[in-house]
Amino acid sequence: MYQTLVAVNLSAEQNYGKLQFLPDLATGWNTSTNGEVYTFYLRHNVTFSDGNPFNAYDVWTEFYFWYYLTGNSTTFWNGLNIFNTSNVNVGPATFALINQSGLSNPSPQLLSIMGNTNLPAYVTGPYAIVFHLAVPFPFFVNTFTGFEGMIFDPMYVLQHGGPGQPGSINSYFNTNPIPGTGPYTVTSVQMDEYVEFQQNPNYWAKSLTPSQIAANPILDPGHYKTIIVYFKSSDTTRYIDLTTGKVQLAAVTSSDFQLILNNPSYGYAVIKYPADMVSLDFNNNIFPTNVTDVRLAIVHAINYTQVIDQAVFGYGKRVMGPETPNYGQFYDPGNYPPYSYNLTEAKQYLAEAGFPGGKGLPPLTLEVDALGTSWETPAAEIIQQDLAQIGITVNIQVVPDSVFYSPFGSYQTNLQDASQIPPLSFNAVDGYAPDYLAPTDFWTSFVTNMSPWGNWGAYNNPTVDSAVLFMDHSNNLSAIMQKLTVAQGVIYNQAPYDWLFAAQLPLIDGSYAYNKQTISGFYMDPNLVGVTDLPILNTITPA
Amino acid sequence: MNPLTFFLRRLVTALVTLFGVTLITFTLTHLISSNPLVAWLGKSASIDPQLAQIYIKIYHLKSPLYLQYFYYIDGLLHADWGFSFSKGEPVAQAVSQTLPYTIQLVILSLLFTIILGVAGGILSARFHGSILDKTIRTLYILGYASPAFFIALVLILVFSLFLPVLPTGGAAPVGVTLPKPITHIPLLDALIEGDWTAFSSLLRHAILPSLALSLGLFGVVTRVLRSSILELINSNFIRAARARGVSENKVYFYAFKNSLVAVITLLAITVNFTLVADIFVENIFAYPGVGQYVVQAALSLDYPAVLAITLVYAIIIVTANFIADLLYAVVDPRIRYE
Amino acid sequence: MKMWQPLKSFWRLITYNLETKVGFSIVALFVLTSIIEAIGGYRILPYNPLKTFVGKPFSPPSVLHPFGTTKLGRDLFSMIIAGAPNDALVSFFVVGFSFSVGGLLGAAAGYVGGILDELLMRITDTFFAIPALILGMAIAMILGPSPYHLMFALAIIWWPPYARLTRSEALRLANMPFVASAKLSGISGPRIVLRHIFVPVLSTLLVYATLDIGTVVLTYSGLSYLGLAVRPPYPDWGYLVAQYQEYIIYAPWLSLIPAGVIMVVAAGFSLLGDGIRGAIQAERGR
């Protein structure tokens, strides 16, 4: 329904694991030599589904919508500190002006505001927009793949109550979706029940040839006139609806997914090159998980193959974090191997830590989120048994979802709440997948003190921090790789997290299943389930 | 004593009981933890000091205990039952949205219980000693001994795998707009409005959960009805009627009629069991009533919700028993003169 | 000769009819299993209930594994036996406590009458208005999951029916001549309550208690189902049902068997209680 300026080549990404950006609403873009100025050239003759034209003024407005909604924060753009916002005074007054003047033919006054080159984003014509960064962030184009990069009609927003207040988006749009430029539009919404999509007759790419679609699959105009997505909370119901033919595609997990696996007439989505990180988190600040050798003992005592086989049907890829393999050279610079299952080594580490055979260690609590028990509990029980083999006692505690998440937040928060964070826990019920496809995401979120969310173990190391900071602010690739390699070594040796696997099933222990005689396939979220775990509707192809 | 005095006495007793219930729920809120803030707002309260200050004011958490109790009662009467953080809305609102669905199930299950219970009672009395009698007895003993979730699971298994005719989840299918809230009970509203699509969908979704409830409880009715009929059957009046040549079936029918009232008053007392069984049934059938809500709340440690729902259940039970008491008195004059 | 009397009465009670015998057998099996398991621990079981992969995961009931195996290949039969002591302990303790404490309270209140009686009536009324499960849930929420917490929580709220039973008996008996003569002979109040009021009520209480144990088993299983009794990987009947209910289509035995066991045990107490009641009434009729 919504498109971005820059498209991820779904075929290259999901079939071959290569990250490639193609034109979408932007036909081209370039970067200045110092890496701080990005210019995007936008596509002509594109309209939103409500008829309003798409142009650079829309992109400009949306950019500042996000600025406004985060309360004028300097890290408003995907949590990155890359813009100088000191000159920005775009706010409700400007929005009111835009509402009056409209964006198809903005007034001269509005044009001069939008063309003001002192702002971090300014237009240089109706189809060109320039972003002036404060630092040479090399992955700026990547940031358009996610939620904040989606283009919607800002005039619609302004005509229906505005974007909302800082911290809370106007809820009117929950049931009255904002028009987009994409191949489908929403024609009907019933909260907690269903959403109905219909093909957009005015879609700018509706006449693409099959080879054009194959070259850039996300532009596919779609193969079904109407698609209805129902919300049903019971897995059994979803499975039955699928197998009785009431629906053609359904999310099936856990026990029912086993039935799908056993049934060759059903296919299901698998992410060959996954980015959904599932980790066993250590509380790096409280005894005994604050002792490095204890952590190293634990990471070598777990039978990963068994965990992956039993908890997620074998669909997990061993990784050495904090990155996942889809970022090419930014994944595991230095080529450190994922932690091996080696009981001898584990026992050695434990002895070196001063706890031979586990003597002297208190029992460790492993917290499991009640919402994730279908895969977390079996995984936890296997880990419990594995650790018992080296003398560590683990107590499993299932806690309600809200209780599980309550102590977590930014790195600072996690550090402060360290006493409330359990020694062991799983990072998330559905893993952690990218909000946008830049390698900086996981590095920042998992292991630095700049993490707004995701550094559950409250881990911090100055070498790692400076390497990641450098990656954010430099376009000197070889220097970045050098520092990153050193940082990777530190992480490998300190094991602040036990990177269990990258989940290859979009629902961790389940997936979107379909009858192979009805549907031949589809692509998943270009952010590899970071933004949505639903199939990309316009890529669903009949058998 | 005259009926009015009787009625008033019973009413006062009921009110005193409810008052006692509020005392219990209130005491529980203060046994919850050393930090009542955490209890009322969840762990996040201890992290955000500003929010904490606001809530200390609103809930008068720094006032002496008796004052807090006063504010609590005051709040209850003004439908301010606190904020349910597991639902993200005021408890009163959440309850008003979920209660109608539970009431639907309870009423429907009452219907099924009457049908099953009466049929079972009459049949087992009429053919007492026979295999039919023994079968019915086995069925209801097993039903009564089954945990509510067992019956629900079996029904789901049967109706999903072998007889997929009835839906096994939710209250209404997608694409069906809910009827306008007149009585606020969706089934009734659909009926009143003549909206047959909505009515039939809502009904279809309510059948299995209600059936699950009644299969466990019909035994109570059957057993009482059976023994009551059999008792009456041997009374002098009946013997005289038989002697006059009245047919066996007619005789049993007469006994049944006279046992009816006892059964009706009995039903009011089974409300307690129904509400408890309902909790599990709603959870297994994903039925959006109070039962599902209270479990969600309990597992999220949402104390305001759990305590308010406890009160709601108490009100329902006290009311049902009150009605039962009145019915008993109407039927049996002896009871009025205590 | 006299020594055999109680045993003979006991035997007559439990063999009153077929149902009673069935009920007693179930109850005896349940109690014996629980006691033996509580003493012997996991060692006496065919498999360690916590040990994973003792069989192929998700295998249906077979000779090796009479109740089948779980997702991680644990033996369900061993898990069921391992979980029995919890239900037995909780139900017997709760009923025992309610029987004694509630029974005595009721007897005293009925005998003494007056304000004490009124107070007891109001208190029990209040407890009757709140379903035991809800109150148990609320208390367990506060204390945290554990069979002992549940036992404690249920005992606090389970006694009112016993108090009411003994109270109404006390009211009836208090005005009887033998009580008046006991008072005249100078026997103390408490002794009167105990010997002349509580003891005669015992048989009624016994019937009710037997039926009640089954009800506690059901309530405890319900609370366990909600996750308020044990934590993984420890087995408990209600919790097993909850853990495996999502497999109802793929491996129905995993949730149906624990639920069925609960039903059978509860039915056993129900049959036994009914039978004893029948036997006592028949006895009185003689």
Asked if residues C244 and C255 have their Cβ atoms less than 8 Å apart, the reply is yes
Residues B223-259 have pLDDT tens digits of 888 888 887 777 777 777 777 777 777 777 777 777 7
What do you get for the CA distance between the two ends of chain A, in Å? 23
Nearest Cβ partner for C129 among B21, B142, B294:
B21
CB count within 10 Å of CB A300 equals 22
> Whole-angstrom Cα distance, residue B229 to residue B248?
13
Q: What is the pLDDT of residue A234?
A: 76
Structural domain includes residue A391: yes
What are the structure tokens assigned to B225, written together?
A: 């009805």
Cβ-based burial of C18 (10 A; exposed 0-12, middle 13-18, buried ≥19)? exposed
Cβ contact, residue pair C250, A258, below 8 Å? yes
Helix H or strand E segment including A35: none
Provide CB contacts within 8 A for B129, sequence distance 6+.
none
CB contact under 8 A, C58 and A258: yes
Q: Is the domain of A19 the same as that of A46?
A: yes
Residues A241 and A367 in one domain: no
| Smallest Cα distance from C238 to chain B, Å | 9
| Token reading at B226 | 């059976």
Whether residue B145 lies within 8 A of chain A, CB to CB, comes out as: no
Model confidence at B286: pLDDT above 70: yes
> Half-sphere exposure of A184 toward its Cβ, with a 13 Å CA cutoff?
23
Q: Testing the interface with B: which of A187, A196, A228, A234 to mutate, by most B Cβ within 10 A?
A: A234
C266/B318 CB distance under 8 A = no
Residue that wins the pLDDT comparison between C76 and C12: C76
The pair phi, psi for residue B63, each rounded to 5°, is -80, 165
Lowest mean pLDDT among A157-171, A202-216, B246-260: B246-260
Q: Rounded to an integer, what distance in angstroms lies between the CA atom of residue A15 and that of residue A30?
A: 27
What residue spans of A302-372 are helical by DSSP H?
Answer: 304-312, 343-352
Q: What is the mean pLDDT of residues B154-160?
A: 84
Q: How many CB atoms lie under 10 A from the CB of residue A146?
A: 21
CA distances in angstroms from A272 to A9, A316, A456, listed in the order given: 15, 10, 27
Tell me the pLDDT band of A541, cut-offs 50, 70 and 90.
very high
Smallest CA–CA distance from A372 into chain C, residue: C243
pLDDT tier at B338 (50, 70, 90 boundaries)? very low
Across the interface, of B16, B32, B276, the residue whose CB is closest to C133 is B276
Same domain assignment for residues A245 and A376: no
CA dist A458 and A125 (Å) reads 46
Is A446 domain-assigned? yes
Q: Quick check: is A73 in a domain?
A: yes
| C28 at B interface, C-beta within 8 A | no
**Does C52 sit within 8 Å of A382, measured CB to CB?**
yes
Residue position matching structure tokens 């409300």: B271
The CA-to-CA distance between both ends of chain C, in Å, stands at 22
Instruction: Count how many domains chain A has.
Output: 3
Q: Assess if residue A214 is contained within a domain.
A: no
Domain match, A118 and A246 both: no
* Residue tagged 């019909």 (tokens): B218
Tell me the chain B residues in contact with residue A190 when contact means C-beta distances shorter than 8 Å.
174-175, 177
State whether residue C171 sits within 8 Å of chain B by CB: no
Confidence at residue A121, expressed as pLDDT on a 0 to 100 scale: 93
C129: which chain B residues are within 8 Å (Cβ-Cβ)? 17-18, 20-21, 314, 317-318, 321
Q: Is there a contact between B164 and A240 if contact means CB atoms under 8 Å apart?
A: yes
CA quadruple A352, A355, A356, A362: dihedral sign:
negative
Beta bridge partners of A280: A426, A498
Interface contact C58-A384, CB threshold 8 A: no
Residue with tokens 């050279």: A329
Q: Are residues A111 and A251 in the same domain?
A: no
Domain extents in chain C: 32-251+259-285
Mean pLDDT over B98-105 rounds to 89
A259 contacts on C by Cβ (under 8 Å): 249-250
Q: What percent of chain B has pLDDT over 70?
A: 78
Q: In which element (H, E) is residue A476 found?
A: none
Q: Which position has the token pair 């709603």?
A: B282
Average pLDDT, chain A: 91
| Contact residues on chain B for C132, CB-CB shorter than 8 A | 276
Across C117-143, b (16+ Cβ under 10 Å) vs e yields beebbebbbbbbbbbbbbbbbbbbbbe
> Is the residue at A209 inside a domain?
no
Give the distance from residue C233's alpha carbon to the nearest chain A alpha carbon, in angstroms: 7
Interval B204-218 mean pLDDT: 89
For residue A37, the cross-strand partners are: A132
Minimum CA–CA partner of A306 in chain C: C72
**Is the separation of the CB atoms in B290 and B96 below 8 Å?**
no
- When scoring C71, C74, C240, C248 by the number of chain A Cβ atoms within 10 A, the one with the most, hence best to mutate, is C71
Beta strand B89-90 with A37-42: parallel, antiparallel or unpaired? unpaired
Same-domain check for residues A410 and A472? yes
Residue of A nearest to B298 (CA): A400
Mean pLDDT, residues B163-168 taken together: 69
Find the CB nearest B174 among A230, A234, A417.
Answer: A230
Q: What angle do CA B205, B208, B209 make, to 5 degrees?
A: 90
| Helices (H), ranges, A263-396 | 292-301, 304-312, 343-352, 373-388
Looking at the DSSP bridge assignments, the partners of residue A132 are A37
Instruction: Identify the architecture of domain C32-251+259-285 in CATH.
Output: Orthogonal Bundle (1.10)
Residue whose structure tokens are 């099959």: A210
Whether residue C266 lies within 8 A of chain B, CB to CB, comes out as yes
pLDDT on residue B177: 59
Higher pLDDT, B49 or B232: B232
pLDDT value of residue B36: 56
Q: Please give the mean pLDDT across all residues of chain C.
A: 86
* Cα–Cα distance list, A396 to A175, A374, A380, A384, A387 (Å): 41, 14, 7, 8, 12
Question: Which of A192, A226, A237, A397 is the best mutation test for B, with the most CBs of B within 10 A?
Answer: A237
Interatomic CA distance for residues A177 and A405, integer angstroms: 30
pLDDT at position B334 is: 54
B148-157 vs B271-284: helix axis angle to the nearest 10? 40
C227 contacts on A by Cβ (under 8 Å): 370, 398
Backbone angles phi, psi at C202, to 5 degrees: -50, -40
Residues of chain A numbered 163-192 and touching chain B (CB < 8 Å): 190
pLDDT at B303: 78
A393 shares a domain with A379: yes
Q: How far A218 CA lies from chain B's nearest CA (Å)? A: 29
Cβ within 8 Å, pair B170-A234: yes
Distance CA C206, CA C217 (A): 17
Q: Which two tokens stand for residue C140?
A: 């367990």
pLDDT of residue B39 exceeding 60, the answer is no
Please tell me whether residues A142 and A249 are part of one structural domain: no
Residue from A272, A186, A188, A245 nearest A12 by CA: A272
The CATH number of whichever domain residue A452 belongs to comes to 3.10.105.10
Structure-block tokens of residue B20: 């006692």
Q: Give ipTM to 2 decimals.
A: 0.83
Residue pair A295/A494 in contact by the 8 Å Cβ criterion:
yes
Q: What are the tens digits of pLDDT across the range C182-196? A: 777 777 767 776 777
Question: A225 in a domain, yes or no?
Answer: no
The pLDDT of residue C198 is above 80: no
B-chain residues near C18 (CB < 8 A) = none
Which residues from chain B sit within 8 angstroms of residue A370, using beta carbons? 299
Q: Does B227 touch chain C (CB under 8 A)?
A: no
Which residues 288-327 of chain B have a CB within 8 Å of chain A? 299-301
B283's CB contacts (< 8 A; 6+ apart) are: B149, B291, B292, B295
A317 touches chain B (CB under 8 A): no
Chain B touching partners, 3 or more CB pairs below 8 A:
A, C
Residue A456 to residue A450: CA distance in whole angstroms? 12
Chain C residues with beta carbon closer than 8 angstroms to that of B147 = 218, 221-222, 225, 238, 241, 259, 262-263, 266
* pLDDT of the residue at C24: 92
- Closest listed residue to residue C94, CA positions, set C23, C148, C168, C33: C148
Classify residue A132: in a domain, yes or no.
yes
Which tokens go with A55?
């142009």
Is the CB of A402 less than 8 angstroms away from the CB of B300? Answer: yes
Helices (H), ranges, chain C: 4-14, 18-40, 76-97, 103-112, 114-129, 132-143, 147-158, 160-174, 177-184, 189-191, 199-225, 237-244, 253-285
Please judge whether C249 and A395 are an interchain contact, meaning their C-beta atoms are less than 8 angstroms apart: no
- Tell me the Cα Rg of chain C: 22
* Tokens 């008046």 -> residue: C180
Taking an 8 Å cut-off on Cβ atoms, the answer to whether C222 and B294 are in contact is no
Q: Among residues B256, B268, B250, which one has the least CA distance to residue B118?
A: B256
Which distant-in-sequence residues (6+ apart) come within 8 Å of A383 by Cβ?
A280, A302, A307, A366, A394, A424
Could you write out the DSSP letters of every residue in A21-64?
Answer: EEESSEEEEEE-TTS-EEEEEEPSS-B-TTSPBP-HHHHHHHHH
State the pairing for strand pair A424-426/A316-317: unpaired
A256 and A243 in one domain?
yes
CA-based nearest residue in chain B for residue A408 = B44
Indicate if A114 and A171 belong to the same structural domain: yes
Specify whether A403 is located in the same domain as A518.
Answer: no
Residue A366, burial from CB neighbour count under 10 angstroms (0-12, 13-18, 19+) = buried
- CB spacing of C255 vs B153 below 8 angstroms: yes
CA distance A109 to C139: 65
Nearest CB partner across the interface for A406, out of B44, B168, B286: B44
Same domain, A305 and A426: yes
- B314 shares contact with chain C (CB less than 8 Å): yes
Distance CA C257, CA B150 (A): 10
pTM: 0.81
Has residue B35 got a pLDDT over 60? no
pLDDT at B337: 47
Q: Which domain holds residue A73?
A: 6-179
Distance CA A334, CA A492 (A): 10
Pick C232's closest partner by Cβ from A235, A254, A380.
A380
Parallel, antiparallel, or unpaired: how do β-strands A21-23 and A6-8 relate? Answer: antiparallel
Tokens matching residue A306: 């068994």
A73 token code pair: 């924060």
- Closest Cα of chain B to C187: distance in Å? 31
Q: Is C119 on the interface with B (CB under 8 A)?
A: no
How much is the average pLDDT of C3-15?
Answer: 73
The candidate with the shortest Cα–Cα distance to B94, out of B306, B299, B271, is B306
Omega within 30 of 0 (cis) for the link into C66: no
Domain finish residue from A140, A160, A179: A179
The rounded distance, in Å, linking the Cα atoms of A487 and C18 is 77
Rounded Cα distance between B252 and A525, Å, is 70
* Chains within contact range of chain C (3+ C-beta pairs < 8 Å): A, B
